[in-house]
Chains A and B, each alone.
Chain A
Amino acid sequence: MNKREKILEFTEDIVRKFKNLGINVDPNSVRKRLELLILEFKVPENEAYRTVINYLTKEYDISKEKLLLKESPLVKIEDITMPDTWISLKAKVVQLWDPTSPNVSQVGLIGDETGIIKFVIWSKAKKRDVEEGKCYLFKNVVTDSFGGRLQINVNRNSEIIEIDEDIELPKKDISAIGALVAIQQGSGLIQRCSICKRAMSSGVCPIHGPIKTYDDLRVKGVIDDGENVYEIILNEENIKKLIGMDINTAKKIAEENLDRNAVLAELKNKLLGRYLEIKGTKSGRYLLVKDVRFLDIDLGDKVEKLIKEIDTLSGV
């Protein structure tokens, strides 16, 4: 490609970029500027291109980022395969987590019909908060790789626009039969912040500090079927269904023993090592349990079938 062709290509490109922002620049003046820089002053082509764009953005008073970002393509979550790419996407906020750093304004999961991905809104981005369950157009966000997984970052140049459509999430119903092999920290009779419902950690809400609390009962546990592990959360209702303990009985146990941990000990005694049949939806790290019961199946026929199968093994 000779220099003249290059100049024409740059001219078209620049005109199109500005047109996307609703600005009509005169192709002739763009071309003349490029010609002057490249042919007359022998400026390297890419420098000339950049200089013209800089000139025009100043002239029309728009941010350079805006110009370059305007075109980030609308993609589906399953198409996100590379970090450091500018994209736009329509997605529903699936879940918000507690930000662990003051630099992060919001963090959680968003999803569309093709998948779910973590998102981070930086405090510096100064965006209005998004809400769980609502759908948004996330414009000009950047893909990023964190801890080996892809996520999207919302920065100062991004836009979040609420949209009036309901985006369906991929079906992630899971049912499993497995043993409850662990009950993790944060289980038992816990306290939650009366404002944001977050679990208190050592008597302090991560957002609102020391504050009025209310009690709740939950189990964060691990179901293991010998092939996979599922991290599950059982709420008061689930726990009551399994072992008949509700928040009031839990409080009574705590009072009688003068120790909240007595509730946890009781939960461990009655639940650990048992086989549970669970149904739920996968949401990020945890399986949100819809239905849970102790496994109760008749092994009779299954055992006979298995014994017969053994005799056929070596015949393979």
Chain B
Amino acid sequence: MISLRKREVAKRVFAYEFNNSTHKIRESNDDRAPIYVLTPTGARCNRVFVVGVLLEREETRPDSDFWRIRISDPTGVFIGFIGKFQPDALSSILQIEPPEIVATVGKVRVFEGQNRKIVTIRPESITIVNTATRDYWIYETALKTIERIKKMYEKSDEDVKLAWQVYNPDLKEYEKMVKTALNSIREREVKPLEEKEEISEEDFEKFEEEFEIEEEEWDISDILGS
């Protein structure tokens, strides 16, 4: 029996933290069970909402209608893939000429290789927004991240305990990340975060070849509205 699941909340996570996330959680063996990615500060994400600068959009192969996009926030870059199974996002992306500030909401996908995993977004929609929206997203995401860091110190709930177990994170690193993000709204000169395993373009192409990132089928949970 198909049960109507509650729609998954879109979590707010900065790119730096998002890209450090590797741990997948599947609540049951049911094929339709949602998959979550646990971030180092204990955010359990099935869907994310991101506002940032669309830096690039590139068709992975000519005429494939399968696009790779890069969206930057003050802490790093989100990578996303849009294909024909995301018709709304696909028709939008064709009309957006980067660079442009965009808001996107999408499901989280983890691609697993032999020695590396990458976390990506599969956008459901993508729209051009203004700087005020971007600034509020940074503020909101900072707020949520701080709330999570507090919980990490308290070691209170299950997700937090799991995050400690999986990542044993240096919370200072994430506090610094939040500061970097907030400072960007203050319009002050800020030192960029130390580059850490930023995935370069060449790396990425190699990665794509290695794992043959393929278009996803319809996700039944989209249709069910979860």
- Please report A residues at the B interface, Cβ cutoff 8 Å: 147-148, 179, 181-182, 184, 222, 224, 226-229, 268-269, 272-275, 295-297, 299, 302-303, 306-307, 309-310, 313-314, 316
Contacts and interface: CB of A to CB of B under 8 A. Distances in A.
A312 to B, nearest CB: 10
Given A273-B125, A273-B133, A181 B49 contact: yes
Contacts of A296: 132
Contacts of A184: 225
Name B's interface SS. Answer: helix
A229 B11 contact: no
B10 A227 contact: no
Interface in B127-149: 127-129, 132-133, 135-137, 139-140, 142-144, 146, 149
Given A299-B139, A310-B175, A272 B12 contact: no
Given A226-B9, A226-B49, A306 B129 contact: no
Interface of B: 3-4, 6-7, 9-12, 49, 51, 88, 92, 102-105, 124-129, 132-133, 135-137, 139-140, 142-144, 146, 149-150, 153-154, 171-172, 175, 178-179, 182-183, 185-186, 225
A114 B186 CA distance: 47
Of B6, B127, B149, B171, most buried by chain A (CB within 10 Å of CB) is B127
Given A268-B127, A272-B103, A306-B146, A222 B7 contact: yes
B11 A226 contact: yes
Contact of B135 (A299, A307, A310, A313): A299
16 contacts: A179-B49, A179-B105, A179-B137, A182-B105, A182-B125, A224-B10, A273-B104, A275-B136, A275-B137, A303-B142, A303-B185, A307-B179, A309-B146, A310-B146, A314-B171, A316-B154
A181 B183 CA distance: 26
Nearest to B51: A273
Of A273, A296, A313, most buried by chain B (CB within 10 Å of CB) is A273
Nearest to B143: A306
A224 B9 contact: yes
A268 B128 CA distance: 10
A296 B140 CA distance: 14
Contact of A179 (B10, B142, B146, B172): B10
Given A273-B49, A309-B146, A314-B153, 7 more contacts: A181-B49, A224-B49, A224-B105, A226-B144, A274-B129, A303-B186, A313-B153
B186 A226 contact: no
Contacts of B104: 273
A272 to B, nearest CB: 5
Contacts of A182: 105, 124-125
A296 B131 CA distance: 12
B9 A273 contact: no
A228 B144 CA distance: 13
B146 A313 contact: yes
Nearest to A296: B132
Contacts of A269: 92, 127-128
B10 A313 contact: no
Contact of B139 (A179, A303, A316): A303
Contacts of B136: 275, 295, 297, 299
Nearest to B222: A182
B48 to A, nearest CB: 10
Contact of B127 (A148, A226, A227, A272): A272
A182 to B, nearest CB: 7
Contacts of B135: 299
A147 B4 contact: yes
A258 to B, nearest CB: 17
Contacts of A179: 10, 49, 103, 105, 137
B88 A268 contact: yes
Nearest to B95: A269
